[in-house]
């Protein structure tokens, strides 16, 4: 219920039971005036008691917290994070490139550094020597005249004697002079570059300036 002081018009809100069933004297906390307040509902207060009501004080300003929050950390440098990510990405890319080169180019690696064959075999990637499953046949070399100059003709065939298709590696031709001393060497590309079981690839090459060449030695180069 709401009651109002007859002297200063200060209003108070209180429970109906605070006045009691027979009414009671009340005092205004604002001006001190006393009056008899009639009841509106039943209550349990004695009739000769005086009740003093106090208006609700206005809310006080909020007290700032005693503990100040820690200063927010400045945001991390986005540029530094980006540079770090780029750096790690480049590092991983280099590792992948090295791994791919070591896997797909293992034949060339073994050709340049033969002890690497043991490593590849240990990790389950055995490397077949160049020309495995292939056989040179009908190889011949001869001196002939080309445009009035001596030239060296080298030709022959490569037979796939295995049971699977084989890539045909390049051939290394070494010209030998007196006492079988190497004079020079070069590579020849057979065609086609891959042959099925029982098929034949051929090669033919003519080199000018064959002076001093006594014989030639032909081996699988493995550079392809």
pLDDT in tens, 112-166: 666 676 677 677 777 777 888 999 999 999 888 777 778 889 999 999 999 999 9
* Residue found under tokens 């060296």: 152
Helix extents (H) in 41-124: 78-104, 106-112, 116-122
Residue 9 domain flag: yes
The C-alpha angle with vertex 153 and arms to 147 and 159, in degrees rounded to 5, equals 150
Q: Same domain, yes or no, for 114 and 174? A: no
Residue 71 domain flag: no
Q: Same domain, yes or no, for 106 and 163? A: no
Residue 73 domain flag: no
DSSP string, 77-95: -HHHHHHHHHHHHHHHHHH
Residue 70 domain flag: no
Q: Same domain, yes or no, for 139 and 213? A: yes
Instruction: Find the domain containing 104 and state its range.
Output: 98-127
Low-confidence ranges of the chain (pLDDT < 70): 40-76, 99-108, 110-115, 117-118, 121, 222-224
CB contact set of 136 (below 8 Å; sequence gap of 6+): 156, 157, 158, 218
Look at residues 147, 152, 102 and name the one whose alpha carbon lies nearest to residue 127.
Answer: 102
Q: Same domain, yes or no, for 140 and 209? A: yes
Determine the Cα–Cα distance for residues 161 and 167; give it in Å rounded to an integer: 12
Q: Same domain, yes or no, for 139 and 211? A: yes
Determine the Cα–Cα distance for residues 174 and 162; give it in Å rounded to an integer: 27
Q: Same domain, yes or no, for 138 and 214? A: yes
Domain count, the chain: 3
Q: Identify the domain boundary among 127, 148, 178.
A: 127
pLDDT above 90 as % of the chain: 27
């Amino acid at each position: 219920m709401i009651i109002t002081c007859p002297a200063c018009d200060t209003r108070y809100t209180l429970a109906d039971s605070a006045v009691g069933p027979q009414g009671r004297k009340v005092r205004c906390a604002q001006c001190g005036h006393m009056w008899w307040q009639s009841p509106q509902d039943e209550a349990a207060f004695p009739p000769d008691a005086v009740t003093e009501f106090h208006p609700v004080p206005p809310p006080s300003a909020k007290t700032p917290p005693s503990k100040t929050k820690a200063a927010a950390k400045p945001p991390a440098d986005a540029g530094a994070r980006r540079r770090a990510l780029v750096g790690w990405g480049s590092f991983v890319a280099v590792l992948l490139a090295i791994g791919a080169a070591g896997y797909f180019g293992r034949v060339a690696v073994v050709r340049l550094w033969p002890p690497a064959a043991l490593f590849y075999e240990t990790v389950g990637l055995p490397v077949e020597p160049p020309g495995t499953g292939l056989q040179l046949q009908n190889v011949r070399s001869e001196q002939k005249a080309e445009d009035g100059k001596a030239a060296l003709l080298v030709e022959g065939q490569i037979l796939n004697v295995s049971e699977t298709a084989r890539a045909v590696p390049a051939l290394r031709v070494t010209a030998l002079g007196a006492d079988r001393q190497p004079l020079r060497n070069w590579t020849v590309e057979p065609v086609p570059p891959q042959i099925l079981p029982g098929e034949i690839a051929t090669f033919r090459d003519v080199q000018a300036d064959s002076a001093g060449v006594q014989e030639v030695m032909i081996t699988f180069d493995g550079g392809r």
